[in-house]
Chains A and B, each alone.
Chain A
Amino acid sequence: MALPNVLETPPSGFNFENVFRNVALEGLLEGGRTKAPKPMKTGTTIAGVVCKDGVVLGADTRATSSEVVADKMCAKIHYIAPNIYCCGAGTAADTEKTTDLLSSNLTIFSMDSGRNPRVVMAANILQDMLFRYRGQIGAHLILGGVDCTGSHLYTVGPYGDIDKVTYLAMGSGDLAALGILEDRFKPNMELEEAKELVRDAIHSGIMSDLGSGNNIDICPTRSQSLKTRGKYTSIILVQHLF
């Protein structure tokens, strides 16, 4: 068998060779009635709240693939840095990979400079990355953390738009969660109060949206000045009887 002649090594990065073939296949399979398998979406409720000395992030744990629940215990709160966590809604693989890349980049930076990464750096890296791909990477992210300048909460959309807010909800259940947040949010809340607020917001998202469900993950990120035992961030799992 003659080998195909490659004149130069193919460039690394995304490969668009199969796009024509896929489009042609979709048209050919059973006269256009069969569609290609859809990627797993997180169909989510995620929420974040800035409280007095930190940020509280919350997420549900259901991942859907069209009408089927693909994963009942999906972890949507991703670790970025010891002081920064990120919730992801949208296409599950995209949020995973994007947050992994972000975490690696920030680790390299902190090893290089000996400093803790700042939340605004994470937001800028995400913005550059997502805008470059013009929204084809379906990652709706809530980025929250505490650094030397204070506690911050950012939302990053798939096209790279960012917004810096004090409370936030995203995903398919975001309207329900936002209702609870709008009603009970107060600036400079205590940590326990903020955790309850986020838990209730995710709960209402789970109740009102088919794409969210199963359990609630809460992740409080506290500033380092507080005396805490052991690690100062942990993901607490609140289980519901669904």
Chain B
Amino acid sequence: MNTRGLRSQLKDSVPVTGLGTQIGAYGVQDTLRSGFSSVKNELLPSHALELSEKNFQLNQDKMNFSTLRNIQGLHAPLKLQMEYRAARQIQRLPFLQSSHLALDTLKGNDESISFEDILNDPAQSEMMGEPHIMVEYKLGLM
């Protein structure tokens, strides 16, 4: 459901984390791929859409849940979020490609095609993640 015009319900937007640079080999910034590092690059978005696209899904969800809470009460978003959490856990290890089938079905993404499905497909990503590092990052050990 697309609930427009209800931004006033949004108490606080999702906080923005830093637009980090690529970490290259040996933990130093990868100058070849992302240019010289500067504090400005990390704090300010380079493109008008970068921030809004980064948090688009999160903001939409927040808005929808807040509307649902106002209309139907607290139980509605609680039950939905519980299902989302359960479905989100069905995935492979981070360096492998998982289909997110249950999560997509719950969110309704299996019935629509948008730019997320065409561009930058993770199955055809040019970067390879190191399995150990990725699992350690995911478990919070890094």
Give A contacts to B, CB under 8 Å: 2-17, 19-21, 23-24, 97, 101, 104-105, 108-109, 112, 128-129, 132-134, 136
Contact = CB atoms under 8 A, between A and B. Distances in A.
Contact of B120 (A6, A11, A136): A11
A128 B56 CA distance: 13
A183 to B, nearest CB: 38
Nearest to A102: B113
Interface of B: 2, 22-27, 30, 33-35, 41, 45-50, 52-54, 56, 94-95, 111-122, 125, 127-130, 133-134, 137-138, 142
Contacts of B49: 14, 16, 133-134, 136
Contact of B119 (A3, A14, A21, A132): A14
A129 B115 CA distance: 9
A7 B23 contact: yes
Contacts of A109: 111
Interface core residue of A6, A8, A11, A17 (most chain B CB under 10 Å): A6
Contacts of A19: 46-47, 50
A193 to B, nearest CB: 39
Contacts of A101: 113-115, 118
B114 A6 contact: no
B126 to A, nearest CB: 10
B129 A2 contact: no
Contact of A6 (B2, B50, B111, B127): B127
A12 B116 CA distance: 5
A35 B61 CA distance: 40
Contacts of B35: 20-21, 24
A9 B26 contact: no
A69 to B, nearest CB: 29
A4 B111 contact: no
A21 B33 CA distance: 9
B134 A8 contact: yes
Kindly list the 8 A-B residue pairs having the minimum CB-CB distance in the complex, ordered from nearest.
Answer: A2-B25, A19-B46, A13-B116, A6-B129, A7-B137, A16-B47, A19-B47, A16-B50
A3 to B, nearest CB: 6
B103 to A, nearest CB: 14
B122 A9 contact: yes
A134 B52 CA distance: 10
Contact of A112 (B2, B48, B111): B111
Contacts of B111: 108-109, 112
A17 B34 contact: yes
Given A16-B45, A16-B47, 17 more contacts: A2-B26, A4-B23, A5-B23, A5-B129, A5-B133, A6-B130, A7-B129, A9-B125, A12-B117, A13-B114, A13-B116, A20-B41, A97-B118, A101-B113, A108-B113, A109-B111, A133-B49
A5 B128 CA distance: 8
Contacts of B120: 10-15
B31 to A, nearest CB: 12
5 contacts: A5-B129, A7-B137, A8-B129, A19-B46, A20-B35
B53 A14 contact: yes
Contacts of A8: 94, 129, 134, 137-138
Contacts of B94: 8-9
A158 B22 CA distance: 33
